[in-house]
């Protein structure tokens, strides 16, 4: 039955799938990862084994996973949406109470060969489940208030868990990913405006109520917000990073100091130079030009996602593709805003470049889903 | 496929909207890259190469510790120190070699400093030399252009002016080690300062955080030779809090000196409020040796000493309380009603329990004795008998009510709980049932029963006052009194407590009392109880052979000597406990020490507190004109 219907819809089967594999996206992902390997090699001072080698191994595993996911029909992944979400949620609960805490907030499960961060999986699982929800929901109900409740609950649950860790960066990415899928699904724009203005209003109320009789938060909570917004009040921590990061970025100039010539990063000014702050080193060594090229590579990946999604008549596939693309976009833009001093440091890695296993595997897996949606679409 | 046409159209509109927003954000990123990397590049290049923004920590001064009459026990002394900052010294090795011509600095020390520098972050200053003379500082200052990254500094060093008398109470500070850092979960950047002094023992360790204070920061811009161009931000820290102890130096010194030559501990407590007035452990050591890191030979000498000078025996030493435990057994039996006040028990010199002979210390026995006489003569058979009658659970319950077998909250590390056994405890820990013989042994404070001198002094204070006193050692924290006046009454009958008090009175004042030779024969009388606790098992053969003379045994197998007491007998003011490790008989070794310390305490008269630490501190600042 399914074979006939797929044939009828023009969905490729068997070896014909290879013909429809989205090679440009795969090539772009590999290029960005390759730049990542070069930078890891550079920041370790020319030590291949320290960071570059494990990262390459992870990339290879992730790439194979991507291919396997690509050739599995998207209908199977569609039916896996709810289980994936539930498992990610359980794992999030698990790390909340039994996980290993490292670097302050990030929590993971140690499987021996890899440290799993369930929050990374949740970013994709949430997009999957909300895409499924809107695929299932009738068109006419999309903007009804009570049908808005399930996706909000689905998002709020993992958000509360990651905020509790506390991991603000992941919480922002989760909320943005969910909001994008809802936007694409056609939820009335008035809701978004209402949501944005109520958040803005709340922030405004919190700020101006300070010092009055109607003060909303406690004094120490205000102080926490202050340190969060102004990291220079913690000069040996985040503030120092940002200052040094800006110096490194700026000293790169137009074309950079050259590969492995960045003095700021080579002199160990940045403790997170191989993870969240890797863009700093890149921009110092390859300058403004390098930075723009990297940005273009990222945007091209997103662009191809748009192209395939626009031609996909399967609502789940289309929503999933752009949801993943948006999550990927938020990843690199929040990271870049952060290291360039335009956003507070919230701990978001640069996708495919920063050293780290979970993010690499999850992102490549997610692009496997994009590929699967692309391969198995009606033509 | 019959999808409504509307969906793709709306989806496309929305996708375009999203793409537009994303392009806008990407444009912002590109604009920012241009701004930082191209437009302001010159400024940042300059910052990267010629100027450095530098953050300097301003270490706070550590809290000062005073005794009860205002004597300073721990203070901060000014010393000249030279530090080096890696990011300012372009070539640290060359700079250090030049510096070695001006101040005493060995080649080995230079290589140590270089190693240290490579481990620390670039802006963290590393100590080059400390305890320097003014001439050295002057020479370094004059040559500062050729010594980039070298910073002469006025530093603070901990000093214990009274030294050994308070070594166990105050403890000591020492340079923070990698081991310390791995043990404590403390993100205070002060700990990253090499050789920063943190509390390692005693109050210094236990009250570390309040004593340490909070660091201030100075964000400064410096040029390439390290000269400060301007101060960008100055955030002041706060000094550590000052402490005042309830312990007074006069009595503490007297107790320490009186116990010289012994491995011994003494605790004096105020019977009216639980204030600890002396907490002395002998032998003692000089805490100043630890402040800048102790030498290996000194450390080994302290560690190899069989009298264990580093241990604070008052709270860490656990001993079988011996006969000093008999008050507890008597009170348990009276409260439970298994004996009455006039009941007499016959002591033939031993008691047979399940076929084993339990001996009285007096071979011929005491004959018929009442409870008061049993305490006076310390008759063992009497207490075997009533202990078995009342049972171990009641004894343990009474002991805990009197402050034994519970952990008292003193600001010292490793305050020990001791042990008051129960049947359940033995089953769990020794995998054995409780025997009646165990109860008999507990009846004379032997066997499993263990207590610290602090607990024994607390027990005596509670017996003397009838109040549930909690030992208190910090009188004031940051000029705020810690005193809480809510001592509840003990849940025992006054009649029973009085009977035990008369027994204790007899011990010191009846001609046949075990501590009669150590009585206080003045206006005030002392009540007490001696104890001699075995640390070895006396075999039947030894007992029959008669070679049990204490003096013939090696030191570490001799009996412990104990004494607990309080004075004056009427309107008690102080309680005391003394233990002399392996000292032999309590009446001969511990009682005389206790009597002398008690007499000293009584002679010191009013136990009022001295001037407030705050006043002392502000006076000093005014006089010297400098902040300490």
**Which pLDDT score is estimated for B613?**
46
Mean pLDDT, residues B354-367: 85
Q: Convert A296-313 to b/e letters by CB count within 10 Å (16 or more is b).
A: ebbbbbbbbbbebbbebe
**Which pLDDT score is estimated for A104?**
45
**8 Å CB contact between A365 and A69:** yes
Which residues are CB-neighbours of B202 under 8 A, at least 6 positions away? B167, B168, B169, B170, B171, B172, B312, B412, B413
**Which pLDDT score is estimated for B60?**
87
Smallest CA–CA distance, residue A260 to chain B, in Å, is 16
Residue B324, token pair as written in the block: 């000093």
Smallest CA–CA distance, residue B240 to chain A, in Å, is 20
Tally of residues, chain B: 628
Q: What is the pLDDT of residues B365-404, one digit of tens each?
A: 888 899 888 988 889 899 999 999 999 999 999 999 999 9
**Which pLDDT score is estimated for A292?**
94
Chain A residues with beta carbon closer than 8 angstroms to that of B4: 139
DSSP one-letter string for B339-404? S-TT--EEE-SEEEETTEEEEPSSTT--EEE-HHHHHHHT-HHHHHHHHHHH-HHHHHHHHHHTT-
**Which pLDDT score is estimated for B395?**
92
Chain B residues with beta carbon closer than 8 angstroms to that of A269: 122
Tally of residues, chain A: 379
**8 Å CB contact between A63 and A364:** yes
Residue B165, token pair as written in the block: 């008398």
Averaged pLDDT score across all residues of chain B? 83
Instruction: Please give the interface size between A and B, counted as residue pairs whose CB atoms are below 8 Å apart.
Output: 126
Helix (H) or strand (E) holding B245: strand B243-245
Sequence spans of domains, chain B: 249-603
Q: What is the pLDDT of residues B259-288, one digit of tens each?
A: 988 899 999 999 988 889 999 998 999 999
Smallest CA–CA distance, residue B35 to chain A, in Å, is 8
Q: What is the pLDDT of residues B182-200, one digit of tens each?
A: 777 766 778 877 678 889 9
**Which pLDDT score is estimated for A231?**
54
Torsion of CA A271, A276, A279, A280, to 10 degrees: -30
Smallest CA–CA distance, residue B221 to chain A, in Å, is 12
Please give the residue of chain B at the shortest CA–CA distance from A328.
B22
Question: Which range has the worst mean pLDDT, A8-22, B300-314, B374-388?
Answer: A8-22
Residue A259, token pair as written in the block: 């590969």
Please give the residue of chain B at the shortest CA–CA distance from A330.
B22
**Which pLDDT score is estimated for B527?**
92
3 state SS for B62-103: CCCEECCCCCEEEEEEEEEEEEEECCCCCCHHHHHHHHCCCC
| ipTM for the assembly | 0.88
Contacts for A191-195: CB closer than 8 Å, 24+ residues apart? A191/A143, A191/A148
**Which pLDDT score is estimated for B28?**
94
Q: What is the pLDDT of residues B82-110, one digit of tens each?
A: 888 887 777 888 888 888 888 888 888 88
Which residues are CB-neighbours of B535 under 8 A, at least 6 positions away? B320, B556, B557, B558, B559, B560, B582
Q: Are B37 and A235 within 8 A, CB to CB? A: no
State which residues form the domain around A148: 2-187+230-375
Q: Which of A372, A335, A361, A363 is nearest to A350 (CA)?
A: A335
**Which pLDDT score is estimated for B94?**
87
Residue to substitute from B1, B8, B13, B15, interface A, most A β-carbons within 10 A: B15
Helix (H) or strand (E) holding B548: none
Q: How confident is the model at residue B2 (pLDDT cuts 50, 70, 90)?
A: very low
**8 Å CB contact between B361 and B496:** no
Q: Which of B501, B184, B7, B618 is nearest to A185 (CA)?
A: B7
Residue B571: which region, alpha, beta or left (left: phi > 0; alpha: psi -120 to 50)? left
Q: Convert A184-211 to b/e letters by CB count within 10 Å (16 or more is b).
A: bbbbeeeeeeeeeeeeeeeeeeeeeeee
Residue B280: which region, alpha, beta or left (left: phi > 0; alpha: psi -120 to 50)? beta
**Which pLDDT score is estimated for A322?**
95
Q: Which of B323, B370, B465, B518 does the annotation list as catalytic?
A: B323
**8 Å CB contact between A181 and A127:** yes
Chain B residues with beta carbon closer than 8 angstroms to that of A306: 15, 19
Overall domain count for chain A:
1
Mean pLDDT, residues A41-60: 87
In the residue annotation, B224 being an active-site residue is answered as no
What is each CA distance from A107 to A35, A101, A157, A344, in whole angstroms?
27, 5, 17, 21
**Which pLDDT score is estimated for A178?**
95
A4: three-class secondary structure by DSSP: helix
**Cis bond leading into A166, ω under 30°?**
yes
Q: Are A268 and B122 within 8 A, CB to CB? A: yes
Domain B249-603 falls in which CATH fold? Beta-lactamase (3.40.710)
At residue B619, φ and ψ (nearest 5 deg) are -60, -45
Q: Are A251 and B49 within 8 A, CB to CB? A: yes
Q: Which of B244, B245, B246 is nearest to B272 (CA)?
A: B246
Q: Are A246 and B44 within 8 A, CB to CB? A: yes
* Residue A221 counted as domain residue: no
Question: Which range has the worst mean pLDDT, A260-264, B20-24, B589-593?
Answer: A260-264
- Position with higher pLDDT, A62 vs B534: A62
Smallest CA–CA distance, residue A184 to chain B, in Å, is 5
Q: How confident is the model at residue B589 (pLDDT cuts 50, 70, 90)?
A: confident
Torsion sign (Cα): A316, A320, A323, A329? negative
User: Chain A window 214-243: which residues touch B at a Cβ cutoff of 8 Å?
Assistant: 232, 235-236, 240, 243
What is each CA distance from B28 to A135, B25, B77, in whole angstroms?
34, 5, 55
A45: three-class secondary structure by DSSP: coil
Residue B317's Cα: distance from chain center in Å? 13
**8 Å CB contact between B368 and B344:** yes
Mean pLDDT, residues A324-328: 96
Q: Is the pLDDT of residue A66 over 90?
A: yes
Residue B244, token pair as written in the block: 């005042």
A267 touches B: beta carbon within 8 Å: yes
Q: How confident is the model at residue B237 (pLDDT cuts 50, 70, 90)?
A: confident
Mean pLDDT, residues A173-179: 93
At residue B527, φ and ψ (nearest 5 deg) are -110, 145
Q: How far apart are alpha carbons B331 and B339 in whole angstroms?
A: 10
**A313 closest CB neighbour out of B1, B25, B34:** B1
**Which pLDDT score is estimated for B624?**
36
Which residues are CB-neighbours of B110 under 8 A, at least 6 positions away? B93, B96, B97, B100
Q: How confident is the model at residue B539 (pLDDT cuts 50, 70, 90)?
A: low
**Which pLDDT score is estimated for A67?**
95
Residue with tokens 């005693």: B202
Q: How far apart are alpha carbons B248 and B534 in whole angstroms?
A: 33
Q: Is the pLDDT of residue A344 over 90?
A: no
Q: Are A315 and B3 within 8 A, CB to CB? A: yes
**Which pLDDT score is estimated for B546?**
52
At residue A374, φ and ψ (nearest 5 deg) are -70, -45
Residue to substitute from B48, B191, B215, B219, interface A, most A β-carbons within 10 A: B48
Q: Are A310 and B15 within 8 A, CB to CB? A: yes
Q: Is the pLDDT of residue B123 over 70?
A: no
Q: Are A283 and B33 within 8 A, CB to CB? A: yes
What is each CA distance from B91 to A248, B82, B86, B88, B126, in whole angstroms?
22, 17, 8, 9, 15
Residue to substitute from A250, A316, A331, interface B, most B β-carbons within 10 A: A250
Q: Is the pLDDT of residue B359 over 80?
A: yes
Q: How confident is the model at residue A1 (pLDDT cuts 50, 70, 90)?
A: very low
Q: Is the pLDDT of residue B161 over 50?
A: yes
User: Chain A window 317-346: which residues touch B at a Cβ cutoff of 8 Å?
Assistant: 318, 322, 326, 329, 333, 336-337, 340, 342
Highest mean pLDDT among B72-81, B148-157, B494-503, B540-549: B494-503
* Residue A74 counted as domain residue: yes
**Which pLDDT score is estimated for B150?**
86
Residue B567, token pair as written in the block: 């004075």
Residue B572, token pair as written in the block: 């008690």
Q: Are B30 and A292 within 8 A, CB to CB? A: yes
Chain B residues with beta carbon closer than 8 angstroms to that of A310: 12, 15
Q: Is the pLDDT of residue B50 over 60?
A: no
């Amino acid at each position: 039955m399914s074979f006939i219907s797929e044939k009828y819809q023009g969905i490729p089967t068997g070896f014909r799938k290879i013909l429809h594999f989205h090679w440009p996206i795969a090539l772009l992902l590999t290029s960005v990862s390759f730049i990542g390997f070069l930078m890891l090699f550079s920041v370790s001072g020319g030590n291949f084994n320290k960071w570059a080698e494990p990262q390459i191994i992870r990339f290879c595993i992730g790439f194979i996973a991507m291919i396997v996911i690509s050739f599995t029909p998207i209908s199977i992944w569609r039916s896996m949406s709810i289980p994936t979400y539930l498992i990610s949620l359980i794992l999030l609960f698990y790390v909340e109470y039994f996980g290993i805490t490292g670097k302050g907030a990030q929590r993971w499960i140690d499987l021996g060969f890899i440290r799993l961060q369930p929050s990374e999986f949740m970013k994709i699982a949430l997009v999957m489940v909300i895409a499924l929800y809107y695929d299932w929901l009738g068109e006419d109900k999309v903007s009804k208030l009570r049908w808005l409740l399930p996706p909000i609950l689905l998002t709020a649950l993992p958000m509360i868990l990651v905020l509790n860790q506390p991991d603000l960066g992941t919480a922002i990415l989760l909320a943005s990913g969910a909001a994008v899928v809802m936007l694409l699904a056609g939820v009335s724009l008035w809701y978004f405006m209402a949501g944005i203005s109520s958040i803005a209003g709340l922030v405004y109320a919190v700020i101006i109520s300070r010092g009055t009789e109607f003060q909303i938060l406690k004094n120490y909570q205000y102080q926490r917000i202050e340190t969060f917004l102004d990291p220079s009040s913690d000069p040996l921590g985040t503030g120092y990073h940002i200052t040094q990061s800006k110096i490194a970025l700026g000293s790169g100039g137009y074309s950079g100091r050259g590969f492995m010539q960045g003095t700021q990063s080579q002199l160990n000014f940045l403790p997170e130079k191989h993870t969240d702050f890797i863009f700093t080193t890149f921009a110092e060594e390859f300058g403004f030009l390098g930075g723009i090229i990297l940005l273009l590579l990222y945007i091209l990946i997103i662009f191809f996602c748009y192209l395939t999604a626009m031609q996909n008549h399967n609502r789940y596939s289309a929503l999933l593709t752009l949801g993943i693309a948006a999550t990927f976009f938020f990843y690199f833009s929040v990271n870049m805003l952060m290291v360039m001093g335009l956003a507070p440091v919230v701990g978001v890695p640069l996708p495919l470049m920063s050293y780290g296993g979970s993010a690499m595997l999850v992102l490549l897996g997610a692009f496997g889903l994009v590929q699967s949606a692309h391969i198995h679409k009606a033509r | 496929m019959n999808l409504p046409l509307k969906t793709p159209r709306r989806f496309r509109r929305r996708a375009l909207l999203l793409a537009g927003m994303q392009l806008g954000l990407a444009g912002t990123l590109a604009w920012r890259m241009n701004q930082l990397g191209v437009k302001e590049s010159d400024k940042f290049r300059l910052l990267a190469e010629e100027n450095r923004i530098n953050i300097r920590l301003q270490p706070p001064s550590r809290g000062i510790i005073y005794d009860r009459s205002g004597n300073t026990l721990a203070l901060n002394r000014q010393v000249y120190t030279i530090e080096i900052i890696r990011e300012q010294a372009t070539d640290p090795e060359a700079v250090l070699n030049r510096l070695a011509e001006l101040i005493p600095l060995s080649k080995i020390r230079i290589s140590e400093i270089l190693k240290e520098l490579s481990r620390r972050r670039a802006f963290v200053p590393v100590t080059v030399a400390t305890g320097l003379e003014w001439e050295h500082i002057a020479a370094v200052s004059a040559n500062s252009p050729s010594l980039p990254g070298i910073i002469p500094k006025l530093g603070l060093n901990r000093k214990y002016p009274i030294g050994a008398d308070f070594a166990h109470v105050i403890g000591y500070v020492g340079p923070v080690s990698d081991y310390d850092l791995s043990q404590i979960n403390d993100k205070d950047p002060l700990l990253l300062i090499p050789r920063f002094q943190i509390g390692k023992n005693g109050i210094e360790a236990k009250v570390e955080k309040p004593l340490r204070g909070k660091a201030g920061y100075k964000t400064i811009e410096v040029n390439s030779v390290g000269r400060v161009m301007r101060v960008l931000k100055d955030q002041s820290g706060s000094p550590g809090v000052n402490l005042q102890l309830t312990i007074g130096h006069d009595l503490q010194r007297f107790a320490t000196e009186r116990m010289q030559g012994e491995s011994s501990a003494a605790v004096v407590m105020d019977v009216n409020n639980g204030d600890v007035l002396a907490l002395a452990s002998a032998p003692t050591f000089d805490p100043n040796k630890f402040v800048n890191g102790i030498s290996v030979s000194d450390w080994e000498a302290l560690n190899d000493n069989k009298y264990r000078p580093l241990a604070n025996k008052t709270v860490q030493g656990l001993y079988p309380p011996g006969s000093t435990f008999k008050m507890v057994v008597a009170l348990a039996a009276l409260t439970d009603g298994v004996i009455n006040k006039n009941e007499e028990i016959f002591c033939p010199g031993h008691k047979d329990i399940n076929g084993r002979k339990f001996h009285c210390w007096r071979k011929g026995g005491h004959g018929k004795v009442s409870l008061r006489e049993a305490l006076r003569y310390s008759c063992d058979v009497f207490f075997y008998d009533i202990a078995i009658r009342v049972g171990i659970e009641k004894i343990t319950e009474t002991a805990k009510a009197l402050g034994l077998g519970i952990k008292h909250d003193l600001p010292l590390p490793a305050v020990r709980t001791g042990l008051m056994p129960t049947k359940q405890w033995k089953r769990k820990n020794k995998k054995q049932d409780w025997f009646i013989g165990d109860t008999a042994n507990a009846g004379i404070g032997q066997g499993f029963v263990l207590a610290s001198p602090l607990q024994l002094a607390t027990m005596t204070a509670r017996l003397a006052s009838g109040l549930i006193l909690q030992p208190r050692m910090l009188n004031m924290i940051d000029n705020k009194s810690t005193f809480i006046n809510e001592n509840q009454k003990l849940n025992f009958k006054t009649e029973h407590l009085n009977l035990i008090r008369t027994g204790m009175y007899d011990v010191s004042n009846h001609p046949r009392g075990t501590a009669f030779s150590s009585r206080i024969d003045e206006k005030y009388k002392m009540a007490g109880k001696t104890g001699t606790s075995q640390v070895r098992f006396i075999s039947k053969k030894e007992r029959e052979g008669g070679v049990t003379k204490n003096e013939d045994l090696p030191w570490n197998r001799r009996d412990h000597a104990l004494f607990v007491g309080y004075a004056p007998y009427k309107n008690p003011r102080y309680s005391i406990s003394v233990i002399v490790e392996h000292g032999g008989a309590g009446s001969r070794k511990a009682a005389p020490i206790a009597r002398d310390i008690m007499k000293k305490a009584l002679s010191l008269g009013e136990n009022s507190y001295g001037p407030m630490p705050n006043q002392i501190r502000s006076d000093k600042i005014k006089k010297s004109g400098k902040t300490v």
